[in-house]
Amino acid sequence: MSSSKVILVTGSNTGIGYELVHLLAAKGHTVYLASRKESAGTEAVAKIKKEKNLDVKFVQLEITDIKSVEAAVATIQKAEGRLDVLVNNAGISEMSTQQTALTPQLPSIRSAVETNLFGLIQTTTAFLPLLRASSTPAAPAVILNVSTDMASNTLMAGPNGFLHEAVAYNTSKAAANSYTIALAHELKAEGIKVNAVTPGFTTTRLNGFAPGGKTPEQGAQTLMEWALLGKDGKTGLFVNDAGEFPW
Dist. CA 230–CA 193, nearest whole Å: 9
- Position 213 scores a pLDDT of 62
From first to last of the 247 residues of the chain, give the pLDDT tens digit: 348 999 999 999 999 999 999 999 999 999 999 999 999 999 999 999 999 999 999 999 999 999 999 999 999 999 999 999 999 999 999 988 878 999 989 999 999 999 999 999 999 999 999 999 999 999 999 999 999 999 999 999 999 999 999 999 999 999 999 999 999 999 999 999 999 999 977 666 666 666 666 787 888 999 999 999 999 999 999 999 999 999 9
Dist. CA 31–CA 97, nearest whole Å: 34
Q: Which residues are catalytic?
A: 169
- Position 200 scores a pLDDT of 76
Q: Give the residue among 164, 165, 123 at the shortest CA–CA distance from 146.
A: 123
pTM score of the predicted model: 0.95
Residue 7, φ and ψ in degrees, nearest 5: -130, 135
The CATH number assigned to the domain with range 6-244 reads: 3.40.50.720
- Position 1 scores a pLDDT of 38
- DSSP 8-state secondary structure symbol assigned to residue 97: S
List the chain domain ranges: 6-244
Cβ atoms 168, 112 nearer than 8 A: yes
- Position 203 scores a pLDDT of 61
